[in-house]
Structure 1
Amino acid sequence: MSTDWNLLEVAESYEDYEPVRERAFAWAALFEQAGLAEPGCRTVLDYGAGTGRVAAEILRGHDVSVIAADRSPSMLKVARSKRQDPRISYQVIGDDQRLELPDDGIDAAISSFVFVCIPDAEIIQNIVSEVYRVLRPGATYAVLDVNPDSIGVPFEIGRYGEAGRAYAAGEAIEMRLARPGAEPVSLVDYHWPKDAQLDRLRAAGFREVGLVEPTLPADYGGPDQDRMPVERTSPPYVIYVARK
């Protein structure tokens, strides 16, 4: 059984998740890899924007406008209610994964935890190809996702899958998101090896394709530092990076 992201209660439960690790180190790494601070970066596409939390975080440190696109009207309903900003424009993605955007017009693109939610390899390929279409030449697409090598690791956020079990490409895998003071949220994700994701980026036409695996800096002394000992040595995330 898959997670129905079109349900309003699912969108609201996801909004209740507190992105401790993302704020501590993942978002900064994602934005750096996407080149959001580079001269000439004015318009950023957030493909799979969810409730708009990442789009709002982009605006905290970058002088850009954000096109926040998602397939779920419920996710965007939550986003519009909580994160109204004239620098963010929200857009519903069509069933064919296409955007209402011209070719070669976007300065940078990101996705956060999008591929891990999709069981169909063809749909992921269509997304990657659509992002490639709308990016200007030389622009970068950076994709933050759950690290497929982190199965069963006891992170602060919760756990991805069952320790010791081998998952096939595209197989359903449980993600249990911890919520302070509340029951964990159980989501159905899908396991995609790193090589499969890199191959999709290359197939779409991207060049300089690679990945980074950020961890919490050893000298991190910010909020919730005592809750994330494992994150200092084991990378919970992977960021795929591709330049057009």
Structure 2
Amino acid sequence: MNVKHLWPLAIVVAGIGATAIGAAISHHYWSFFGLLLIISLASMLSGALLGFLFGVPRLNRNYDPREDYGRTTKYLPNTNLEDVSDWLTKIIIGITLTQLAKIPDYLQGIADYVTANSSCAGQDCHLAGPVIVSLLVYFFIAGFLSGYYYTRIFLPTLFSIMEENSILRAETAIWRKGGQILFSASGGSGLSSRFESLTGQEKAMLQRIREEGTLGRLSHDDSAALNVLLAKGVVESSPGKRSWRIIDEEVLRLLQED
């Protein structure tokens, strides 16, 4: 088993052990154990959801695609999820801070509700309340830590894979379109210049580089066009700067005339 899964598993196993011990206060052991297990699971899932919201990674807004052409990306194309997570996190923190003094009462209310709706004839009701509150707190914290931990580990990788696949598909489409242009030209008079072999996306990116030089955040299609132009040796980045320039003089001249 991977080491990174050991401590979350250990926390859950320890919690189940505590649940089994806590259920011993009831003469109807298995019924009360099942009840405690369901309550603990609900608490853990609530904590895991909160941990997920806190764990959604933030977009690296200073990411420069020129700094890593080896395909390690900034991930997080889904900024909506980031915004929703940030919004909900702030609301939850605000509500928690304003209701902090009432949290013990809320927990006690849950424990009282559970004991009131279960038979006290076969269990020690004076101990049932503290056991339920303890398990609620324990599993909520365990769920929060596990949710945050796994979100931080797996979500950036998942976003990276999704973004990389999207860019690679866009690159493949550009290369295929360029091949179609070359194939069509081979049946006629041929291409008079390298510029004519470029696709519309590549030309649009070259025009943007010529006008702006420094590029901000790029869409997947723009990133794909830029990667293809880099592979063809048409453009290059300025070392230490967030700017691009066209190094193919013929392409630059024809772009200005176009």
Normalising by the smaller structure, the TM-score range is under 0.3
Return the TM-score normalized by structure 2: 0.23
Whichever of the two has the greater Rg, that structure is 2
